[in-house]
């Protein structure tokens, strides 16, 4: 199979100058995901673009590099989608290119303030979410993450109330054909444990809501791995994959402590067993905020991350 040899500077020029899909290589000239290292699996391996956030790349180049590095899918951030649109480029064209080249837009990372105690903030956030649905549809995005943005310092939010607040967000997303994901944040004072997310998703009154777990956040929030046994492919459609250093106690971990899977102390034998048995079709999405990774060449970081993710999920 012919491999691409465009250098980084020229590629960036091509990407920024072209109408997407016209000058970019066709799928016949890109490396297919099954050619990458690692054992065959039902899981799909995805890139959360936070992993290369520090490289400050435009959205189309993030997509291009994810495909070149042999990921099956991508999770872009809404902020990057807005910048791309504001620059005059077409999300619809980018979504078509991704589909034609076998790169699934598995999810989107946004921050609707659905859990805030301030009803006005919640309403404004939901109005913005309605506008965001158009962008996600243009890009062909399947899901959107809904962490406890706007409520990270809120305390004593009743879980039934939280589920009620999630209901209108879930309705907006599902009516647009997009799955809402209740995401845990281990550092938050609300929605920091896996059980909280599962309760909200199951009690929000809208069938189709799912949970977004994260190896780092499970450790940070104190849930651990065992609770993943209560989930399944429909209830956990995406798992954010990363690792954490064992020398740091969970409550002192921060986002920048996340490292490539296998480079930390996460129990990969247990993780592999639980996820493979209960959620065999789950999307495994690499998400780091590591400043050392941000200093790497983006393609090198993505290739290394995918290889380590596949190796970690081959642990038996």
Banded model confidence at residue 107, pLDDT cuts 50, 70, 90: very high
Tell me if 37 is assigned to some domain. no
Find the domain containing 290 and state its range.
Answer: 43-312
Tell me if 27 is assigned to some domain. no
* % pLDDT > 90, the chain: 80
Q: How many structural domains compose the chain?
A: 1
Banded model confidence at residue 41, pLDDT cuts 50, 70, 90: low
Give per-residue pLDDT as tens, 48-57.
Answer: 999 999 999 9
User: So what's the pLDDT on residue 150?
Assistant: 86
Q: 81: domain CATH number?
A: 3.20.20.150
Banded model confidence at residue 101, pLDDT cuts 50, 70, 90: very high
Task: Tell me the pLDDT of the chain averaged across its residues.
Answer: 88
Tell me if 63 is assigned to some domain. yes
- Per residue, the 3-state secondary structure of the chain, as one string, reads CCCCCCCHHHHHHHHHHCCCCCCCCCHHHCCCHHHCCCCCCCCEEEEEHHHHHHHCCCHHHHHHHHHHCCCCEEECEHHHHHHHHHCCCCHHHHHHHHHHCCCEECCEECCCCCCCCCHHHHHHHHHHHHHHHHHHHHHCCCEEEECCCCCCCCCCCCHHHHHHHHHHHHHHHHHCCCEEEEECCCCCCCCCCHHHHHHHHHHCCCCCCEEEEEHHHHHHHCCCCHHHHHCCCCCCCEEEECECCCCCCHHHCCHHHCECCCCCCCCHHHHHHHHHHHCCCCEEEECCCCHHHHCCCHHHHHHHHHHHHHHHCCCC
Banded model confidence at residue 21, pLDDT cuts 50, 70, 90: very low
């Amino acid at each position: 199979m012919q491999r691409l040899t465009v250098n980084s500077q020229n590629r960036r020029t091509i990407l920024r100058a072209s109408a997407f899909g016209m000058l970019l290589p066709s799928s016949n000239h890109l490396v297919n995901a099954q050619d990458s290292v690692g054992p065959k699996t039902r899981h799909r391996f995805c890139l959360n673009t936070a992993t290369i956030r520090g490289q400050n790349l435009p959205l189309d180049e993030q997509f291009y590099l994810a495909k070149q590095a042999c990921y099956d899918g991508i999770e872009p951030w809404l902020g990057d989608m807005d910048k791309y649109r504001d620059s005059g480029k077409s999300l619809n064209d980018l979504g078509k290119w991704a589909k034609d080249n076998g790169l699934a837009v598995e999810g989107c990372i946004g921050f609707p303030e659905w859990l805030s105690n301030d009803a006005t903030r919640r309403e404004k956030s939901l109005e913005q979410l309605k506008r965001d649905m158009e962008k996600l549809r243009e890009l062909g995005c399947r899901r959107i993450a809904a962490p406890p943005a706007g409520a990270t310092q809120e305390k004593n939010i009743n879980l039934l109330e939280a589920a009620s607040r999630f209901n209108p967000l879930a309705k907006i997303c599902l009516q647009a054909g997009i799955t809402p994901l209740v995401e845990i944040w281990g550092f938050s004072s609300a929605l920091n444990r896996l059980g909280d997310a599962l309760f909200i998703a199951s009690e929000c009154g809208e069938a189709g809501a799912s949970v977004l777990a994260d190896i780092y956040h499970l450790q940070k929030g104190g849930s651990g791995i065992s609770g993943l046994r209560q989930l399944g492919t429909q209830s956990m459609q995406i798992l954010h994959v990363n690792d954490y250093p064992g020398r740091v106690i969970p409550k002192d971990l921060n986002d920048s402590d996340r490292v490539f899977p296998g480079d930390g102390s996460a129990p990969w034998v247990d993780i592999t067993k639980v996820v493979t048995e209960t959620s065999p079709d789950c999307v495994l999405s690499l998400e780091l905020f590591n400043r050392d990774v941000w200093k790497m060449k983006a393609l090198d970081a993505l290739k290394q991350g995918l290889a380590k993710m596949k190796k970690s999920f081959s642990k038996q």
